[in-house]
Chains A and B, each alone.
Chain A
Amino acid sequence: MIHGVAAVAAVALSVALVTVFPRSILVFLIFQLSLLFVYVARIPTWLRAGLLGLALLVLMPLIGFVNGYYLEVATQVGIFAALALGLNIVVGLAGLLDLGYVAFFAVGAYSWAIFGSPQANLIFGGGFPLAPGWFYVFLFVGLGVAALTGVLLGLPVLRLRGDYLAIVTLGFGEVIRVLANNLDKPINLTNGPKGITPIGRPPLPAGVPYSEAFYFLVLLIVVVVILVNRRLEDSHIGRAWEAIREDEVAAQAMGVPLVRAKLLAFACGASFAGVMGVVFSAKQVFINPESFTFLESIGVLAMVILGGMGSIPGAVVGATVVTVLNLQVLKGFSLWLNELKNAGVTVLGYSLANLPTQLEPAKYERMVFGIILVLMMIFRPQGIFPARRRQRELAQVQVQKEQVAVAGAEP
């Protein structure tokens, strides 16, 4: 009861704060923390679902009207959450270390970018861009193409494990990026480093801003991805993946067909990235190969590891933490240091205004991120939300055993 009141109060208070201080990063962080609190608080499921639903479906879009940038952050969090959930299947569940994951995101993005912009005219002569409505079809096309790419990547690397697999996937990620960079001749497919623009956006009812529409679309996809993830995890497929992660030889000896299971893991993980790629290209209107660098793959991997390998809430929280760190906290930190510098504040008798440009606060961002990662791995290597073994089924088995015992005693 007290937890329920606290959860409601936390959400209400944080929303009130956001409306009062619409420009404060700190206040937006408090809003996010209140959601996390709702998720972990000991409250009835209906209350938790209700509060989270209210916050994500009503409050967040309203906050978007107060400060559009927050909605943009939330949308990006959603995009990365879907990527992290996809990579979580490959790395966290099946234990296949993939360092080129962003390639699938790129494949999805380019599949809509090419046909949803005049770019395709250069290949097929005319008739493009496709009507905006095709965007929805391409969500599935992106899914399919990415899944197919996942299988294509999977086939040659099936026999590789651990470090070797990591190196090959890294290479694969780079190959896709380099292809995107260079396929402007002989046929101009990707327009090379200049990128593709303008990419079509889905048709919307009059008066609905794109930022809000994309937020809801991303939210919907994330919910579907979480559902799919959970169902796979709680099935024979998920158990087979985990068995492969634990001991490939034993898994195969116990009847798990390695080839099929691994390809399925690659295809499932890739398909989530493909769908989000389509959304990303439409949302950004412009894409070029710079959006799909090795650093992006590592970023998504950091989300999965930071959140907790093989854990669905972990992947979502990891994606939130890393995205918010990058977009808001570290930026805010830089700005704050800059302000101190410009105000000529002295620390221990040393004026920050004399700081050499090499020590420009903006350059700390990556370093601070790195330090956070290192500290995290030292003090909490299992991640923020480590994967929990499913305990609830114990009760199920015990109940059934009792039933068997009772049934046996009756006659």
Chain B
Amino acid sequence: MTTLFEARGITKRFGGLVAINRVDYALDRGISSIIGPNGAGKTTLFNVFTGLYEPDGGEVTFRGRSLVGLRPDQITALGVCRTFQNIRLFANMTAIENVLVGMHSRVRLGLWDALSHRPRFHEVERGLWRRGGELLDRVGLHAKANEVARNLPYGEQRRLELARALASEPSLLLLDEPTAGMTQGEASDLMGLLRRLVVDLDLAILLIEHNMRVVMEVSDRVTVLDHGEKIAEGVPRDVQGDARVIEAYLGRRGTTRSPRATP
């Protein structure tokens, strides 16, 4: 059986800056994490994986199919969906409408169905709303279904973004700092939810996280990026003790690191 998701030799440059340098990455199931200091290239890597950026070199495959050159919506349709570091909900739409948009690639209706309102349209539409309600239920937002996304508190916006991504029925979910701005308690709750999702939906999850406690607690595997290169990979316990990782985060005694821009 082929690996679910595989990236080989990914390189991405912005002008003279090499944001990612020949990174190999593979994951199959469970929860994996990517960590690294600010500007390490984590989000850039996500953007390459989801088609927002085209890599300057390397290959990305999902279920053995190349993703390079595909548009983000095509990649989503294949079963890879994501959330964003700075929440990008459809602010003036309600929670349930946000989730319904997430289902777009699964809707098998055309223009004529929408205009003619034939029975199939109502059937499909009812199914979408029902599933939207279930997804909101799953992330604990059922009571907020008609709330406009903009008016939701921060933590709920994060969970709504998760529900919206789940709506596309992904097999691989990429979450960019899902616990940013959450309290430790909220973060733990969210991780519990992710664990359940992995089991219930047979989902593979890839996280970018800064909250080390969360990362070490929940991840099956951790990858560390620094300066656009992979410097360590393994189970959380091993990575935690890795000398290069400690150096990347804390610096080496007696050296100063040049400041870098965040992506």
Residues of chain A having any CB pair with chain B under 8 Å? 228, 231-232, 235-237, 239-240, 242-243, 246-247, 249-258, 264, 389-391, 393-394, 396-397, 400-401
Residue of B nearest to A400 (CB): B130
Assuming the contacts A251-B90, A397-B132, asked whether A236 and B73 have C-beta atoms less than 8 A apart, the reply is no
Structural contact, A257 and B73, CB atoms closer than 8 A = yes
Provide the bound-state CA to CA distance between A239 and B105, in Å. Answer: 12
Cβ-defined contact, A228 with B88, below 8 A: no
Contact A235 B125 (CB under 8 A): yes
Q: How far does the alpha carbon of A257 sit from the alpha carbon of B76 in the complex, in Å?
A: 10
Q: How far is the CA of A240 from the CA of B90 in the complex (A)?
A: 10
- A283, chain B: closest CB distance, angstroms: 27
Q: Identify which of A246, A256, A396, A401 gathers the most chain B CB atoms within 10 Å of its CB.
A: A246
Instruction: Give the size of the chain B interface in residues (CB under 8 angstroms).
Output: 50
Q: What residues make up the interface of B, taking CB atoms closer than 8 Å to A?
A: 50, 52, 71-74, 76-77, 81-82, 84, 88-94, 96-97, 100-107, 109, 111, 113-115, 117, 121, 125, 128-130, 132-133, 137, 142, 145-146, 148, 164-165, 167-168
- With A243-B93, A252-B72, A255-B73 in contact, is A401–B133 under 8 Å at CB? yes
Cβ contact within 8 Å between A239 and B142: no
Separation of A324 and B132 alpha carbons in the complex (Å): 44
Contacts of B107 in A (CB 8 A): 236
Chain B residues near A255 (CB, 8 Å)? 73, 76-77, 81, 102-106, 168
Complex partner residue of A256 from B73, B94, B128, B133, CB under 8 angstroms: B73
**8 A-B residue contacts at CB 8 Å?**
A237-B111, A239-B104, A242-B93, A247-B89, A249-B72, A393-B146, A397-B130, A397-B132
Beyond the given A235-B121, A258-B73, please list 15 additional residue pairs across the A-B interface where CB-CB is below 8 A: A246-B92, A246-B93, A247-B90, A249-B88, A251-B90, A253-B72, A254-B76, A254-B168, A256-B104, A258-B71, A389-B146, A390-B97, A394-B145, A397-B142, A401-B137
Chain B residue nearest in CB terms to A310: B92
Question: Given the complex of chains A and B, what is the CA–CA distance between A239 and B128 in angstroms?
Answer: 12
With A243-B93, A255-B76 known to touch, is A250 a contact of B88 (CB < 8 Å)? yes
Q: How far is the CA of A252 from the CA of B74 in the complex (A)?
A: 9
Residues of B within 8 A of A242 (CB): 90, 92-93, 97, 101
